[in-house]
Amino acid sequence: MEINGICKPEFAPVRDAFEANFAEGLELGASAAVTVDGEFVVDIWAGDADTTGAPWQRDTIVNVYSTTKTMAAICMLMLADRGELEFDAPVARYWPEFAANGKEGVLVGHVMAHTAGLPGFDPPITVEQLYDLEAAAANLAAQAPWWEPGTASGYHPVTQGTLLGEILYRATGRRMAEWFRTEVAQPLGADFWMSLPASEDHRVSDLVRPATPQTLTVGGEEVEVDELAVRASLSVHTTGDEPATREWRAAELPASGGFGNARSVARIHAALACGGALSGVRLLSEAGARRALEEQTDGIDQVFGVRLRHGLGFGLQIGDLSFAAGQMFWGGLGGSLAVIDLDTRASVAYVMNRMAPDALGDPRGTRIIQAALTSL
């Protein structure tokens, strides 16, 4: 297997881990990147972009699913740092209709930490309704929370993006995909898209679903069909084929619809790792960046069924996967994974196209992250 790109000698374990994923038959195509002080020490890619054998290129991008949530979180952290948003304020301050059905006490910080009690749409919606930002937001504004907000986390797989996107829209008058593009991606020269134009379709890698049906599993244990996780998952029915459609790619889906590669994820995250600024571009203050590390919840997540420690928009621990002080992470359905270390000023990202079936049991990204952190 030919590994393309650059890897500094001291980070050879990252390349070794990346290569091992291919040698063990776990990959089709993938990329991995590490930055230190904003500079790339690893930027590698290999494999195929699709099942016909087309090679994964330097500029290949793919739908990273929930790793997109880190980009939405950065937008919100920036707004808070600018004084345009308060995490301790009720969502209804910015979005008055949201106060309906007992949600007047739901805070912006609750949404950031998955404790708002709205992990799914009720009543359920179609994918077409998800693409309709006003309709999806109206659904969430009208419903009652599924548990007392702020008392426990319950992963919001899709709804967090709708909620954060609408809060940003109400606070700024601008849609998040456009705001992110002009305030984050373009200033940093990062090839990450929250709404992908058709002109970039030729670079998109096909996601390959597992040979066995995807299940809501955590650590290899499948959840019961009557549990809250399934209710949340079924609240917007998707088949897994959506990322191949122009409608999904064009839509603003801040929780699941972002397209990029390891280089672009690591580049944007490097701005946080370096205290809010990168390459002469300041996104937010160092204090504003470190707010992401402020613990918001620590307990058994109502959806994942495992321990979740969550900061503002980023995870600090999930299940047995935990990180040191100064480090935070998030990942996406299928296996994409990223870590930011504000103390060593490093960012690590892994993105792939062959999806794993287990929500938290994929070893590929974990071994790359561990190799990178050990190399630091």
Reply yes or no on whether the pLDDT at 18 is more than 60. yes
Distance between CA atoms of residues 106 and 109, nearest Å: 8
Domain that holds residue 355: 4-375
pLDDT, tens digit, 9 for 90 and up, residues 270-287: 999 999 999 999 999 999
pLDDT of amino acid 211: 76
Sign of the CA dihedral running 177, 178, 181, 187: negative
- Higher pLDDT among residues 304 and 18, named by residue: 18
pLDDT of amino acid 238: 87
Distance between CA atoms of residues 317 and 309, nearest Å: 5
> SS3 of 211, please?
coil
Looking at 29-38, 63-72, 351-360, which range is the least confident one? 351-360
pLDDT, tens digit, 9 for 90 and up, residues 171-224: 999 999 999 999 999 999 999 999 999 999 999 999 999 876 555 444 445 544
Q: Cα–Cα–Cα angle for 75, 196, 158, nearest 5°?
A: 55
Distance between CA atoms of residues 286 and 274, nearest Å: 8
Distance between CA atoms of residues 213 and 232, nearest Å: 18
**Category of 75 on φ-ψ map: left (φ > 0), alpha (ψ -120 to 50) or beta:** alpha
Domain with residue 104: its CATH number is 3.40.710.10
Can you give the pTM of this predicted structure?
0.96
**What integer best gives the mean pLDDT of the chain?**
94
Distance between CA atoms of residues 180 and 95, nearest Å: 20
Q: Please give the radius of gyration of the chain, using alpha carbons only, rounded to the nearest integer.
A: 19
pLDDT, tens digit, 9 for 90 and up, residues 217-267: 444 455 443 478 889 989 998 888 999 999 999 999 999 999 999 999 999
Q: Which residues are part of the catalytic machinery?
A: 66
pLDDT, tens digit, 9 for 90 and up, residues 92-111: 999 999 999 999 999 999 99
pLDDT of amino acid 212: 63
Q: What is the DSSP string of 286-346?
A: HHHHHGGGS--EEEE-TTT-SEEEE-SSSEEEETTEE--TTEEEEE-TTS-EEEEETTTTE
Bridge partners (DSSP) listed for residue 171: none
78 CB neighbour count, 10 Å cutoff: 24
Total domains in the fold of the chain: 1
